[in-house]
Amino acid sequence: MNNNVQAYSLLTDFDIDLFKAGKHFRLYEKLGAHLIEVDGVKGVYFAVWAPSARSVSVVGDFNYWIQGDHQLNVRWDSSGIWEGFIPGIDKGTTYKYKIQSNNEGLITEKSDPFALYCEHPPHTASVVWDLDYKWKDKKWMDTRKDHNGLDKPYSVYEVHLGSWKRNAEGNFLTYLEFAEDLVNYVKETGFTHIEFMPIMEFPYDPSWGYQLVGYFAPTSRFGKPQDFMVLVDKLHQAGIGVILDWVPSHFPEDAHGLGFFDGSNLFEHPDRRKGYHPDWKSLVFNYGRNEVRSFLISNAIFWLQNYHVDGLRVDAVASMLYLDYSREDGEWEPNIYGGRENLDTISFLKDFNEAVYSNFEGVQTIAEESTSFPMVSRPTFVGGLGFGMKWMMGWMHDTLEYFKKDTVYRKYHQNELTFSMTYTFSENFMLPLSHDEVVYGKKSIAGRMPGDEWQKFANLRLLYGYMFTHPGTKLLFMGSEFGQSSEWNFDGSLDWHLLQYNYHEGIKKTITDLNALYKTQPALHEKQFSPETFEWINYSDHQNAVMSYIRKGHSPEDNLIVICNFTQVTRENYRIGLYKKGELIAVFNSDAEIYGGSGVENTTKLKVEASPYDGREYSIELTLPPLSVTVYKFK
């Protein structure tokens, strides 16, 4: 036994049993570095999983990074956990684990997988820290189920903190500065939720955060862990939910990270056909190893528990589900039934979702899953994966393909828009216009729109109006809400100066009003995942490139009539069929002058006539503004 390390344990036999069974979902309470007091002496208890180690030393600024001075003790129970109490160490101490492996005496020097705080990259040490913080969001936490339900408006603003806004010197803002500027902006524009691209510690800025090393530590680029708590707290106090991007799909090979942790394939699958991701040149977790499942699910629970997060958007689910994802023949091995599905992943994702939903009320998990894998957002007890929602990648692709076409050709492609309604209700879909759509030469969302300047912005307003009246929840990447002209650059700031121009300010007003419409009109959210919410009026008028439909809530009084005109031709005396007599009032017109539109509107009373049309007993003639979405309601 090392004299500088006292034998001590936070782990019980039950903890070890749960860990080995893949069912310990609060592992962060036991592993990592914990500030405690033993026999009246303050210090830090360290515990790390390294079953292939011959010895594990804690090295840091407190012992001049010398291996062997503070050597941990291996547990007797074959768990592979090394632990011990080091007196005199305080909060703020930097440290790593120096691991001598049984594998030919190989020595690795690793950051703590459970570190609560990390040095600012490119430095790679872990920092002893605590999670002490006095939350002020009780009102939100007590009622968040009323904000996060599947029958509630769910409009997400996707943010990359490093490039949302920079200071005058071009440097990052801090979490505390975001807690003022960003919170006020999201509240002003009316989004119900914000989604942060990964804020867990990562070494390489061009990865946008998707190559994680510190799974339990908010990145120190913007401040301390408690500073991030302030940001979440302020968002909650403003009535805004918080979603984090979570990346259980892969991790980088950086020397201080999880890869080859104790000289063996500990976290990653030992078979490179399952343990290496060719697209991202990163390592893939071994989902069949129980201890790894405990690590990952504990990580999900950690953010929900300790940072009051309201949802997790799980990245790259498709890459996890398929053994042949981005692999050629001969580069993958079928499962025991001869199929391409990764059975370990399926089991893991079900366990993850069950753990989240059974431990927290009023939260959501969202899958970024780009294939037709069935029942992603269906409960596990009926055979689904158990997610609350799934990104509707098909809608995103087809819609952007349609909108980039010159209006003269759109009549030949209306099926690209109407096709989504054939499968919209097969999952609980979220409509995403995400960061992936505004990089790598794809142009910004505004930059894809055809025509002259007026038409580009009219098309953009039309796109957003169509998106917000289509069934499903919404996600919009930062900058798209004011018509960012250029592609997203992770290494700079959004082009905020554009808001001095009327067209860009008009897009921001459009999004603000669409968010308000989504929140205040029950027909747009109450049944957003049910076929009962949607009824076509006419989807076949491709000659005029016009679509019309009804959105429904619980009460027929809340019904909305939506008409989309996908060309720049003003359609006068355009008739649509309706289901009853009455008078219509306009509740939204994307062509309004306040948005930068031409201001075409119906100037007379909109009386529904007893004149059959579109297979209905009643109908009305309307003026359809150019490149517009108009929304009406019975008076």
Whether the pLDDT of residue 185 is over 50: the answer is yes
128 beta partners: none
Dist. CA 321–CA 349, nearest whole Å: 9
Q: How many CB atoms lie within 10 A of CB 610?
A: 8
Dist. CA 288–CA 267, nearest whole Å: 10
Angle between helices 393-403 and 453-469 (to 10 degrees): 150
Mean pLDDT across 433-461: 96
pLDDT at 551: 98
Mean pLDDT across 571-598: 97
Among 104-108, 127-131, 214-218, which is the least confidently predicted range?
104-108
pLDDT at 67: 87
| Phi-psi map region of 10: left, alpha, beta (phi>0 left; psi -120 to 50 alpha) | alpha
Helix (H) or strand (E) holding 146: helix 145-148
Whether the pLDDT of residue 213 is over 80: the answer is yes
Ordered DSSP codes for 283-297: E-B-TTSHHHHHHHH
For the full predicted model, state whether its pTM sits above 0.85.
yes
pLDDT single digits (tens) 57-103: 999 999 999 988 999 999 999 999 999 999 999 999 999 999 999 98
Helices (H) and strands (E) in the chain, counts: 14, 28
pLDDT at 68: 85
| Residue 287 CB-density burial (10 A; 0-12 exposed, 13-18 middle, 19+ buried) | buried
Token reading at 394: 């098909």
86 beta partners: 44
The phi, psi pair for 463, rounded to 5°, reads -55, -50
Helix (H) or strand (E) holding 317: helix 317-321
Dist. CA 339–CA 321, nearest whole Å: 11
Token reading at 566: 């996908």
Dist. CA 19–CA 292, nearest whole Å: 9
Three-class secondary structure of residue 499 per DSSP: helix
| Cα angle value 228/231/237 (rounded, 5°) | 145
pLDDT at 372: 93
183 closest CA partner among 241, 97, 122: 241
Mean pLDDT across 20-31: 98
Dist. CA 28–CA 113, nearest whole Å: 10
577 beta partners: 619
Signed CA dihedral, 179, 182, 183, 184: sign only: positive
pLDDT single digits (tens) 364-382: 999 999 999 999 999 999 9
Whether the pLDDT of residue 332 is over 60: the answer is yes
Cβ-contact 558, 522 below 8 angstroms: yes
Whether the pLDDT of residue 181 is over 70: the answer is yes
Dist. CA 551–CA 534, nearest whole Å: 5
Q: Is the peptide bond before 122 cis (omega within 30 degrees of 0)?
A: yes
pLDDT at 358: 97
Domains present along the chain, CATH in parentheses? 13-127 (2.60.40.10), 153-524 (3.20.20.80), 532-634 (2.60.40.1180)
Share of the chain above pLDDT 70, in %: 100
Dist. CA 208–CA 258, nearest whole Å: 19
pLDDT single digits (tens) 30-45: 999 999 999 999 999 9
Whether the pLDDT of residue 1 is over 70: the answer is no
Share of the chain above pLDDT 90, in %: 97
The phi, psi pair for 444, rounded to 5°, reads -70, 170
Integer CA distances (angstroms), 85 to 59, 71, 82, in order: 14, 10, 11
The two beta strands, 32-38 and 41-49, are antiparallel
At 362, which amino acid appears?
A: G
pLDDT at 103: 86
Whether the pLDDT of residue 3 is over 80: the answer is no
Instruction: Report, as residue numbers or ranges, the catalytic residues.
Output: 315, 368
pLDDT at 2: 58
| Residue 587 CB-density burial (10 A; 0-12 exposed, 13-18 middle, 19+ buried) | middle
pLDDT single digits (tens) 225-260: 999 999 999 999 999 999 999 999 999 999 999 999
634 beta partners: 584
Whether the pLDDT of residue 605 is over 60: the answer is yes
Dist. CA 310–CA 143, nearest whole Å: 12
- Eight-class DSSP state of 8: -
- Name the band, by pLDDT with cuts 50, 70 and 90, for residue 361: very high
